[in-house]
């Protein structure tokens, strides 16, 4: 009898201990989710270009979608709520093509930069409830990248097809040209129409105000530094158009950068904390970094310099050879890898963009080939706990 | 059988009762039970990865659950205390295998091109379950019907998921559907350990000498969400298939045959048991 009582007590104790998980089985709506957005269409493909949080705790995804009215991909916007459920979508019916990214007007109003379908110049549009024109820059042809400068001006990286120059044009109508010395219009067109190699064009500014851009310059894909007047001060050359920078973000320390670069064989290297002299001529191949073998050839890389868990970190987002989205977290000061996380399996996934969320998490967008064939937008939302786990060495 | 009885008798303390002793008013039974079960999973809240932006399509991406269609099985070691009043208390530690099934359908159609995918998903659960049951036997004949009610607690040991995909790919020239199987995915982390609920049922027992045979049916109604909401989107393999588990509560009908042996005997050395 005593034995049976003991067994009963043991069973009751075990039940009590294990049943705690019922109480813990709770999560706030929207803390974590994964969504793949399907339209049921057979032929139209989508690219993920950018993502941003909105004032209502939701998010807006900027996509590029195949359209009938243009050779270029059309502007596509998908507004989702804080749990990732769609609220509205917008697909440009004309004019708005080649979306480049989101832009804040400085008053927390989100804007989007794209290209005019016929004039091939950059447009700035409002986002909600339906895109409306804010500004157009007809003198800037073939926009490739843009950035909001510290002084509030917009800077565009563009291509001058007549003069065969890369152009850095500012919203105050000033500009600088950088000769390429050969006709690269075919490469530019293939990039913009997404029918050929996607080049990692970007333009940005260091905390000290130095402008840099990654574009074609003097026969190569080069990271070029400019002085306050827009003149070139230094350059990190690639190898023709086959090697160069994949992504770059300036760190708070003087002349320190987190970069990703690719070599002629398509391999990608990460250098999370590297020194670059903006007044010197150097080569991207000299920026050694870690060889990331698992990434797709010439994989697109997105960088985000942020703070998590009290640490300055750099997040690298890219796509692996086996069709997953990969997220790498590096210590922005020491350059050590803190953690990695992968998203997707089975069907091919490709990284798009990422942004921090108001709850301390991260939202990642990309695209996935549903059933192995239909390219659709997808999002992955991580909460603060996920970020903390990612950073645990 | 003799060795089996001896084994049980060895658990009985050597105790020589006097006439009128409460010893004669009750009986302990131990034994083994086994049988089959059918399950239904009630959706508390629906979740998914595939999100349809155009709701006017022919198909929606919702899960269609089967209801008491897939057989599972269970085996257990019941212990029962019978009182002469006809009331009894039973504890039934049971290893139970439950099967869940649901279907999803996806379609892409445009300009005469069409791809249809029919998924049949199966999830297999193994729980170590303990039921605490109060039984009442209204008549004390050799063939005794009884009713019972109580509660149960299950601890998840293992969960696996796999899917069959039936595709009709007219766009690639198919005129018939083709079946493929997705790999088995260990899904234990996608569910919490605990599953508890209330249970009730009826049965009938038959005394064949010192062995009590019983056939019983139990209906079990789960009271908690078994899906681990924190890990709902944690498995990349499921995300790749567009899958995320809904919040689920279990319902289960269990039919068992049991064979029970008495633990209290009138005399040591003999097989004459206390009546109840």
Is B226 exposed, middle or buried (CB count within 10 Å of its CB: 0-12, 13-18, 19+)? buried
Beta-carbon neighbour count of residue A131 at 10 Å? 21
pLDDT of residue B1: 40
Name the residue of chain B whose CA is nearest to A10's CA.
B130
Fold of A31-301+371-383: Neuraminidase (2.120.10)
More confident residue, B154 or B15: B154
Tell whether A19 lies on the interface with B, counting CB pairs under 8 A. Answer: yes
In eight-state DSSP terms, residue A2 is H
Torsion, Cα A354 A355 A360 A361, to 10 degrees, reads -20
| Chain B environment of A85 (Cβ under 8 Å) | 51
- Please tell me whether residue A286 adopts helix, strand or coil conformation: helix
Give the pLDDT confidence score for residue B64 in this predicted structure. 94
Q: Encoding tokens for residue A241?
A: 């158009």
CA A192 to chain B, closest CA, distance in angstroms equals: 26
Question: In this structure, what DSSP letter does residue A120 have?
Answer: -
Q: Which residue has the tokens 């813990």?
A: A24
pLDDT the model gives residue B36: 98
The pLDDT value given to residue A115: 97
* Tens digit of each residue's pLDDT (9 = 90 or more) over A36-61: 999 888 889 999 999 999 989 999 99
Q: Which residue of chain A is at minimal alpha-carbon distance from B169? A: A371
CA angle A271/A144/A304 to nearest 5° reads 35
| pLDDT value for A4 | 60
The whole-number pLDDT of residue A308 equals 87
d(CA A71, CA A193): 6
Write the secondary structure of B80-135 as one string of H (helix), E (strand) and C (coil). Answer: EEEECCCEEEEEEEEEEEEEEEEEEEEEEEECCEEEEEEEEEEEEEEEEEEEEEEE
Which candidate from B50, B196, B237 shows the least CB-CB separation from A345?
A: B237
State how far residue A382 is from chain B, nearest Cα, in angstroms.
10
Residue A13 has a pLDDT of 67
Out of B106, B107, B130, the one facing A11 most closely (by C-beta) is B130
Q: What confidence score (pLDDT) does residue A310 get?
A: 85
Percent of residues, chain B, with pLDDT higher than 70: 88
Whole-number percent of chain B with pLDDT over 90: 58
pLDDT value for A11: 59
Low-confidence ranges of chain A (pLDDT < 50): none
Mean pLDDT value across residues B127-146: 92
- Give the integer Cα–Cα distance in Å for B164 and B216: 34
Backbone region of residue A26 per phi and psi (left: phi > 0; alpha: psi in -120 to 50; beta: other values):
beta
Over range B162-180, report the average pLDDT.
84
Cβ neighbours of A79 in B, within 8 Å: none
The tokens of A127 are what?
Answer: 């986002």
> In this structure, are strands B67-76 and B26-45 parallel, antiparallel, or unpaired?
antiparallel
Nearest Cα neighbor of A113 from A50, A161, A186 is A50
Q: B115, A371: Cβ pair inside 8 Å?
A: yes
Distance from CA of A315 to the nearest CA of B (A): 20
| Chain B: residue whose CA lies nearest to A37 | B51
CA quadruple A254, A270, A314, A122: dihedral sign: positive
Does residue B181 surpass a pLDDT of 80?
no
Task: Please indicate if any CB of chain B lies within 8 Å of the CB of A78.
Answer: yes
Cβ-proximal residues to A230 (8 Å cutoff; 6+ apart), any chain = A168, A170, A174, A175, A176, A211
Locate all alpha helices (DSSP H) within chain A, ordered by sequence: 2-18, 20-24, 185-193, 384-391
Token look-up 């291509």 returns A159
**Cα angle for residues A201, A121, A80 (degrees, 5° grid):** 70
Q: Do B91 and A11 touch (CB under 8 A)?
A: yes
pLDDT for res A111: 94
User: What does the pLDDT read at residue B131?
Assistant: 95
Strand, helix or coil for residue B242: coil
A339 CB burial (10 A radius; 0-12, 13-18, 19+) = middle
B113 CB-near residues (< 8 Å, 6+ apart): A42, A43, B170, B171
Q: Is the peptide bond before B237 cis (omega within 30 degrees of 0)?
A: no
The CA distance from A133 to A129, in Å, is 12
Domain coordinates in residue numbering, chain A = 31-301+371-383
Confidence tier at B2 by pLDDT (50, 70, 90): very low
* pTM reported for the whole predicted model: 0.89
Tokens of B97: 């295998």
The helix/strand/coil state of A278 is: coil
The ipTM value here is: 0.86
Mean pLDDT calculated for residue range B52-74: 87
Residue B31 contacts residue B256 (beta carbons within 8 Å): no
Q: How far apart are CA B218 and CA A105, in angstroms?
A: 65
CB contacts under 8 A, B 140-159 vs A, are: 153, 155
Say if CB B247 and CB B67 are below 8 A apart: no
Which residues of chain A are within 8 Å of residue B91 when distances are taken between CB atoms? 8, 11
Q: What six digits make up the tokens of A201? A: 């064009």
Residues 226-245 of B with CB under 8 A from A: 227-230, 232-233, 236-237, 239-242, 244
**Position B264 confidence tier, pLDDT thresholds 50, 70, 90:** confident
Q: Which pLDDT value is given to residue B219?
A: 97
Report CA A329 to chain centroid distance, whole Å: 15
pLDDT tens figures, B5-27 = 444 444 444 445 555 666 667 78
Q: What is the pLDDT of residues B90-111, one digit of tens each?
A: 999 999 999 999 999 998 888 7
CA-CA distance, B140 to A251, in Å (whole number)? 85
- Please count the CA atoms within 13 angstroms of the CA of B49 that sit on its side-chain side: 27
Residues of A whose CB is below 8 A from B79: 4
pLDDT tens digits along B208-245 = 888 999 999 999 999 999 999 999 999 988 888 888 99
């Amino acid at each position: 009898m005593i034995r049976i009582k003991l067994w009963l007590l043991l069973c009751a104790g075990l039940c009590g201990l294990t049943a705690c998980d019922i109480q813990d089985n709770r999560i706030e709506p929207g803390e974590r989710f994964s969504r793949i957005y399907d339209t049921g269409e057979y032929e139209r493909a989508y690219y993920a270009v950018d993502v941003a949080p909105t004032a209502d705790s939701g998010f807006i995804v900027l996509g590029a979608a195949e359209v009938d009215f243009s050779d270029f991909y059309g502007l596509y916007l998908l507004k989702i709520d804080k749990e990732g459920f769609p609220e509205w979508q917008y697909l440009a019916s004309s004019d708005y093509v080649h979306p480049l990214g989101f832009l804040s007007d400085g008053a927390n109003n989100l804007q989007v930069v794209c290209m005019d379908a016929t004039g091939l110049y950059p447009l700035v549009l409002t986002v909600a409830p339906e895109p409306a024109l804010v500004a157009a820059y007809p003198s800037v042809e073939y926009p490739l990248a843009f950035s909001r400068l510290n002084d509030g001006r917009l800077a565009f990286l563009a291509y001058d097809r007549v003069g065969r120059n890369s152009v850095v044009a500012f919203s105050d109508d000033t500009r600088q040209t950088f000769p390429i010395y050969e006709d690269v219009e075919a490469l530019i067109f293939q990039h913009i129409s997404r029918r050929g190699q996607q080049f990692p064009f970007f333009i940005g500014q260091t905390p000290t105000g130095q402008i840099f851009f990654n574009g074609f310059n003097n026969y190569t894909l080069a990271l070029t530094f400019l002085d306050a007047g827009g003149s070139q001060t230094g350059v990190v050359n690639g190898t023709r158009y086959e090697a160069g920078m994949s992504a770059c973000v300036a760190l708070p320390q003087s002349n320190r950068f987190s970069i990703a670069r690719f070599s002629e064989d398509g391999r990608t290297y990460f250098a999370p904390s590297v020194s670059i002299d903006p007044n010197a001529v150097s080569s991207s191949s000299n920026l050694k970094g870690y060889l990331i073998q698992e990434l797709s050839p010439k994989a697109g890389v997105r960088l985000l310099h942020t703070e998590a868990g009290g640490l300055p970190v750099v997040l690298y987002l890219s796509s692996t050879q086996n069709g997953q989205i990969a997220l790498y977290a590096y210590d922005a000061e020491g350059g050590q890898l803190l953690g990695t996380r992968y998203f997707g399996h089975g069907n091919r996934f490709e990284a798009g963009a990422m942004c921090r969320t108001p709850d301390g998490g991260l939202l990642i967008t990309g695209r996935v080939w549903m059933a192995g064939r239909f390219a659709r937008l997808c999002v992955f939302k991580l909460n603060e706990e996920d970020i903390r786990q990612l950073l645990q060495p | 059988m003799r060795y089996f009885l001896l084994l049980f008798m060895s658990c009985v303390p050597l105790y020589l009762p006097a006439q009128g002793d409460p010893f004669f008013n009750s009986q302990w039974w131990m034994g083994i039970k086994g049988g089959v079960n059918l399950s239904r999973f009630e959706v508390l809240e629906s979740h998914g990865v595939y999100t349809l932006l155009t709701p006017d399509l022919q198909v929606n991406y919702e899960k269609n659950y089967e209801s008491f269609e897939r057989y599972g099985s269970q085996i257990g070691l019941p212990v029962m205390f019978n009182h002469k009043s006809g009331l009894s208390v039973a504890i039934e530690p049971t290893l139970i295998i439950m099967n869940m099934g649901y279907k999803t359908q996806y379609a892409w159609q445009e300009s005469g091109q069409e791809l249809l995918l029919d998924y049949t998903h199966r999830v297999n659960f193994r729980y170590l379950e303990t039921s605490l049951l109060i039984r009442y036997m209204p008549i004390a004949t050799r063939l005794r019907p009884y009713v019972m009610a109580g509660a149960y607690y299950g601890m998840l040991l293992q969960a696996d998921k796999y899917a069959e995909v039936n595709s009709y790919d007219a766009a690639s020239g198919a005129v018939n559907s083709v079946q493929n199987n997705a790999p088995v995915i260990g899904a234990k982390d996608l569910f919490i350990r605990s599953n508890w609920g209330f249970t009730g049922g009826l049965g009938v027992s038959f005394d064949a000498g010192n062995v009590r045979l019983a056939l019983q049916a139990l209906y079990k109604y789960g009271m908690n969400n078994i899906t681990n909401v924190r890990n709902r989107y944690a498995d990349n393999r499921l995300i790749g298939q567009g899958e995320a588990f809904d919040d689920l509560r279990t319902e289960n009908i269990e039919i068992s045959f049991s064979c029970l042996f008495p633990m209290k005997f009138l005399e040591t050395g003999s097989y004459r048991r206390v009546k109840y």
